[in-house]
Structure 1
Amino acid sequence: MKRHEVSKCLLCNNPIDESVTWITLLSNQFPRTICSHCEDKFEPYPAEPIDKTVISLYKYNEQMKDYLHRYKFMHDVLLAKVFRHQIHQHLAKKEATIVPIPMHPEKLKERTFAHVDELLKQANIIYEHYLIKITTETQGGKTREQRINARQIFALKENQNPAGKEFILVDDIYTTGTTINQAKKILLDAKAKSVTAFTLIRR
C-alpha cells in the first residue's frame, strides 16, 4: 500500500504532513487522506452509548455535515477514503456478516455510487447484500414522528437465507433509528440469530 497516496488533504487541500516511520511502513495502517487540522474537527461519539446494539464513531457536527454533503450529494467518491482506517479497525475482526443498508436502484443511478458500500470497500471490509430497498423514499427532510411511523422500506433479497446467522448492519448515519430498525426487523423475521448495527455518524 502506498504511504503517500495523497499529498494534500481531501477536505481543505492543505499539504498532509505525515512522517513515514518503520511502524507505519510495516503495519496495515492506511495512509492519511486528511490533515490533522481537519481530523480534529470531527467529534468522536461516546464509546459507551446507551443503546449498545448500535455503535457509532462520530457525532454529527458542522464538519461532518460538510463532509456528508460533499461525499453523498456532490458525488465526491474519493472521500470514502477519509474514515477507512477507523471503519477497518472496528469491523475487520468481527465474525458476524456485514450487511450495508442498500440503496434503491433509481437512487443509485442518480448518485452514481453506493455510498455505504464504498465506505466498506475502501476500508477493506467484506460485506454481503441481504436486503433490497423497495421504495425511493428517503428519511431526509422528515420529522422525527414521520420517520418513526414510516412504512417498511426494505425486503429480503431473493435467495438469501439469514436463519441462524449473526449480522452487523452498516449505515452512514443514525438519526431516529428507523432505517436500522426496519432493516433489523426484516432479518430477525427471517430467523437471524442476532442483528446489531454500526454507523459512521450519530445525530
Structure 2
Amino acid sequence: MESLRVFLGLIFLEEDMEGHQSFFIRVKHIARALGAVLFPLFCLGCGQEGRLVCETCLLTLESRPVFLCPVCHRHGVRGQCCSLCASQSFLSSVCALFPYDEKDLGSAILRFAKYHSAQSLFSVFEPMIHHFSAHNAWFLSEIDCLMPVPLHAKRLRERGFNQSVSLATILSFSTRIPLVLGLKRTRNTPHQALLSRAKRKENIREAFCVVEPALVSGKNIIVIDDIYTTGSTMQECAKVLKKTGAREVRGFTIARG
C-alpha cells in the first residue's frame, strides 16, 4: 500500500523547481498529438486538413441579416410582423444573421457545433454578431435584457452546453445588454427538427415557464436561439414572457430557415 502511495505521488507531481513539465501537462500534449493523428480535423468549408474552419474559409463568413415577418416569413420592415400577422405573433420582430442553407458554410458550422458538442466553434460567429450589433442599433434599442432559449436539464447534460447561452453571451458582451437566464424548460421534448410544422407547435406547447416574474415584468426582451425555422419554439417562449408581463419580446437567431 505504501509503495502504491509513493507511485501515485510521483505520477501527480507538479512542475519541479527547474520548470520541467508535470506529468499531467505531458499527458495532455501526448493525448492531443494522438487525437490529431487518429481523428484529424477537416475544414467544413473546403475540406483542408488541420482545422474545422480554415483561415481562408473563415474570411468568407459574413453577416447577411434576414428581416422577415415572424409568422408568414414574407419580407418585413426590420423583421417586424406584417399587418396581417400582428395578431398571431407574440414576437414583435425577428432578426437573423443569415439565411439557413445546408450548402452554406455558416449553416454547416451551426449544425456541427450544435450536434457534435463543439461549443468553442460558436466563437466564429463573434465577428458577425459584433458587426450586426454595430450596424443595427435600432434592433437593440430600449432592450432591458437578453434571454436565451433554455434546454431541459437532461438535454443539457447530454450536450454539455446550451448553444443559445453561448450566442447570447457573445451578443451581451458586444452590446453590454445584460444576459438573464429567466426561462426554464419544464419538460424534455423531442427534437423539433424531426417534426412537421404542425407537430412542432404542439410539441413545444407549455414547455417553458418564467423563473422569476420580477425579471420579466415591464421589460423589453430579446429571446436568443440558434435557428428560426417555423418559429414555434421562440413564439412559445415569447408567449410565456408576455403572459408574465413582458412589455415587448423580439427574437434574434444566427440563421433563419
How far apart are 1:152 and its partner, in Å?
1.9
Alpha-carbon distance, 1:134 to partner: 1.1
Contact 2:185 / 2:207 at 8 angstroms: preserved in 1? yes
- 1:58 is paired with a residue whose SS is strand
Q: Of the candidates 174, 198, 203, which is equivalent to residue 228 of structure 2?
A: 174
- Report Cα offsets for 1:114-157 as digits up to 9, x if no partner: 11111233452541111001121131200011113332211111
User: Is the aligned partner of 1:40 residue 2:60?
Assistant: yes
1:4 matched residue in structure 2: none
Q: Count residues with an aligned counterpart.
A: 180
Normalising by structure 2, report the TM-score. Answer: 0.61
**Runs of 5+ unmatched residues, structure 2:** 1-41, 69-74, 81-92
Distance 2:66 2:160 in 1: 33
- In structure 2, what is the Cα distance between the partners aligned to 1:91 and 1:43? 11
Equivalent in the alignment of 1:190: 244
Say if 1:80 and 1:119, in contact at 8 Å, map to a contact too: yes
- SS of the residue aligned with 2:168? helix
Q: Distance in 2 between matches of 1:140 and 1:160?
A: 33
TM-score relative to the length of structure 1: 0.75
- Give 1:142's aligned amino acid: L
Match of 1:54 in 2: 94
- Once superposed, what is the RMSD of the aligned Cα atoms? 2.9
Residues 66 and 256 in structure 2, CA contact (< 8 A), matched pair in contact too: no
* Within-5 A mapping of 1:1-203: 11=44, 35-40=55-60, 44-47=64-67, 49-50=75-76, 51-52=79-80, 53-61=93-101, 62=103, 63-91=105-133, 94=140, 95-96=142-143, 97-123=145-171, 124-125=173-174, 126-137=178-189, 138-150=191-203, 151-158=205-212, 160-203=214-257
- Once residues 91 and 168 of structure 1 are traced to their aligned partners in structure 2, the CA distance between those partners, rounded to angstroms, is 13
CA offset at residue 161 of structure 1? 3.5
Structure 2 residue identity aligned to 1:104: H
* Contact 1:169/1:196 (<8 A) preserved: yes
Point out the structure with the larger helix share: 2
Q: Percent identity?
A: 26
How far did 1:39 drift? 4.8
The answer on whether the counterparts of 1:184 and 1:195 sit within 8 Å (CA) in structure 2 is: yes
Deviation at 1:76, TM superposition (A): 1.1
Three-state SS of the structure 1 residue aligned to 2:206 is: coil
Q: Which structure carries more relative contact order (alpha carbon 8 Å, separation 6+)? A: 1
3-state SS of paired residue (1:82): helix
Quote the offset at 1:192 in angstroms.
0.9
Structure (1 or 2) with the larger CA radius of gyration: 2
Given that residues 80 and 122 in structure 1 are in contact (C-alpha distance below 8 angstroms), is that contact kept between their aligned partners in structure 2?
no
Structure 1 residue 65 displacement after superposition? 4.0
Counterparts of 1:82 and 1:201 in 2: how far apart (Å)? 14
CA displacement at 1:80 relative to structure 2: 1.3
